């Protein structure tokens, strides 16, 4: 009765450091230090705690942060991030390669930014704009670039601000993901193998909604009474006994 492990995460990184001839709309002459990870926040779907992994005081590289992220991704069946495909996942992979680390075990990715753009027409698709649309608690405030600069200088006040900001982004990510989840047509299948359960969230609380005809045959159709998602199923799946259902909640 094992359910897939779903990891939600958000990364924060340093800027590139380089030379320019001026201060307004200038080309960078030379990058003298590429960006690195400052920290990342994460939580497992269903857990109450959001955690933040950051550089320890005095650390000169992001190797310990990058290694921790790689190890967590290796545990995950599904990874969720906002702008995962074009940003967070690419940043993670870049730093894995930079430190000659082997890639994490394969996982599925859900990018809530792409979900918002593909299936909806919100006024804006950033985490902040989606939070405003749904009436959720917004992103935590920060002091702008001085916060990032302070973290690079190991200033305690900056790290307190960054940690709060980073963790709030992941807490907000989970809320947005759960709201968008029922509309994801190609959501990775999280149904409990061999049992009749929701393919979107794994719940056993399903209501029969007729049949669905495809080119390969006719399937039963159900709607989840927890997440609202739709599933179809072939014959032969077991109905979960009530006592087992209570134990697996």
* Tens of pLDDT, residues 70-117: 999 999 999 999 999 999 999 999 999 999 999 999 999 999 999 999
| pLDDT for the residue 247 | 46
DSSP letter at 26?
P
Of 190, 193, 191, give the one whose Cα is nearest residue 108: 190
Average pLDDT, the chain: 89
- Between 196 and 34, the higher pLDDT residue: 34
- Between 45 and 196, the higher pLDDT residue: 45
Lowest mean pLDDT among 20-29, 41-50, 102-111, 202-211: 202-211
| pLDDT for the residue 232 | 74
| DSSP assignment of 90-111 | HHHHHHHHHTTPPPPPP-EEEE
pLDDT band at 239 (very low <50, low <70, confident <90, very high): low
What digits encode the pLDDT tens for the residues 157-191?
A: 999 999 999 999 999 999 999 999 999 988 998 88
Of 102, 107, 47, give the one whose Cα is nearest residue 80: 107
CA atoms of 147 and 50, how far apart (whole Å): 20
pTM for this model (two decimals): 0.87
- CA gyration radius, the chain: 21
List of domains in the chain? 6-182 (3.30.420.10), 189-247 (3.30.920)
| pLDDT for the residue 87 | 96
| pLDDT for the residue 202 | 85
| pLDDT for the residue 208 | 78
Residue 236 has pLDDT above 80, yes or no: no
pLDDT band at 2 (very low <50, low <70, confident <90, very high): confident
Beta strands in the chain (DSSP E): 6-13, 17-19, 30-33, 37-44, 51-54, 78-81, 108-111, 206-214, 217-224, 230-233
């Amino acid at each position: 009765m094992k359910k897939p492990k779903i990891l939600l995460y958000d990364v924060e990184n340093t800027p590139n450091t380089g030379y320019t001839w001026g201060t307004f709309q200038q080309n960078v002459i030379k990058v003298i230090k590429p960006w690195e990870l400052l920290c990342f926040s994460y939580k497992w779907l269903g857990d109450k705690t959001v955690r933040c992994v950051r550089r320890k005081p005095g650390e000169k590289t992001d190797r310990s942060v990058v290694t921790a992220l790689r190890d967590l991704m290796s545990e995950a069946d599904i990874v969720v991030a906002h702008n995962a495909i074009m940003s967070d996942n690419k940043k993670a992979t870049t730093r894995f390669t930079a430190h000659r680390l082997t890639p994490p075990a394969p996982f599925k990715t859900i990018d809530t930014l792409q979900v918002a753009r593909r299936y909806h027409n919100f006024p804006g698709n950033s985490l902040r704009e989606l939070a405003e649309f749904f009436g959720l608690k917004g992103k935590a405030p920060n002091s702008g670039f001085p916060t990032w600069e302070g973290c690079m200088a190991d200033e305690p006040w900056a790290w307190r601000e960054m940690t709060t900001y980073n963790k709030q982004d992941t807490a907000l990510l989970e809320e947005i993901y759960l709201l968008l989840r029922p509309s994801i047509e190609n959501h990775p299948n999280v149904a409990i193998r061999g049992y009749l359960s929701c393919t979107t969230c794994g719940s056993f609380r399903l209501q029969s909604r007729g049949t669905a005809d495809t080119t390969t045959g006719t399937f039963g159709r159900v709607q989840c009474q927890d997440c609202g998602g739709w599933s179809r199923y072939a014959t032969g799946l077991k109905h979960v006994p009530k006592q087992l259902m209570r134990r697996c909640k």
